[in-house]
Amino acid sequence: MAIALVPGPGPFDVVTLGSHDRLDRLRGLTLGLHRLVAHIPTEGVTRADRKLLGARLDRAIASGDSRVLLVAEGAGCFAAAWWARLSPTSDVARVIGAVFYAPTADADSARAAQRHFRSPSTPLPFPSILFDSRAALACDDALAQGWGSRAFGVVDTPETPFARARRIVARFTAGVVERDAMRADRLRGADRSGA
C-alpha cells in the first residue's frame, strides 16, 4: 500500500514539521513504513526565524536518499506551504506530496503562523491533503483550496492511530493517482493538438 502512495516505484523519506511535543503523533502519521530523515520544529518561530527554518528544510530534503513526503501539523503546515511556494523548483521537485494535520486547531497559533509565513496565493507544486480530527472546518477548507489540497474531516474515534493513518494514506493515494491522470490527459491533448 505504501508504494501506491508514490507515483512510480521506490521508497521515499519523510520530513516532519511541527512542535516537539507532537513528534510522536507526526511519526504515527508516517505509518512507520518510511524513513524519517528530519523533524523541523516550528514552535515559537517568528518572521525573523523564517530563513533559518527554510534553510533547515532545504538541508533536510537534500539529505534524503530519495523523494520526500512532508508531514506537518499546526504551524508546520503554514511553514511547509510558505517554503514550497517560495523555494526554487529544483528544491521542491524532490517533494512528492504533503500531509497537513490540523493547521487551525489552535486559532491563536494559526493566526500567528499565517502572518509569519505569508506567501503568494498559488496552489502548492505537489499534491497534498489536509485533515483534522475535528469536523471539517470552514477555515481548513479555505486553506485547502488556497494550497490546492484536498480537505478531510476525520472523526476522532478510539480506533488505533494506524487505522486512521491508513485511511488517510488511501485518500492521499487516490489524490496522487487522480492528479497524475489529469497531467497525462493534458499531455496527450497537447500531443494531439501539436501533431
- Cell matching residue 45: 518561530
**Partners of 101 in beta bridges:** 73, 131
pTM (two decimals): 0.71
pLDDT at 121 over 60: yes
Beta strands in 3-141 (DSSP E): 12-18, 35-41, 67-73, 95-101, 128-132
pLDDT for 70-106, tens place per residue? 988 888 999 999 999 999 998 899 998 898 888 887 7
CA separation for the pair 124, 149 (Å, rounded): 8
Residue 105 vs residue 194, higher pLDDT: 105
**Is residue 37 situated within a structural domain?**
yes
CATH number assigned to the domain comprising residue 129: 3.40.50.1820
User: Which pLDDT score is estimated for 4?
Assistant: 32
**What phi and psi, each to the nearest 5 degrees, are found at residue 46?**
-105, 175
**Is residue 174 situated within a structural domain?**
yes
**Is residue 106 situated within a structural domain?**
yes
**Is residue 120 situated within a structural domain?**
yes
Average pLDDT (56-63) is 91
Average pLDDT (4-30) is 61
- Domain assignment of residue 172, given as a range: 9-194
Number of domains composing the chain: 1
Residue 2 pLDDT grade (very low, low, confident, very high; cuts 50, 70, 90) = very low
**Is residue 136 situated within a structural domain?**
yes
Element (H, E) at 2: helix 2-5
Burial class (CB in 10 A: 0-12, 13-18, 19+), 89: exposed
**Is residue 1 situated within a structural domain?**
no
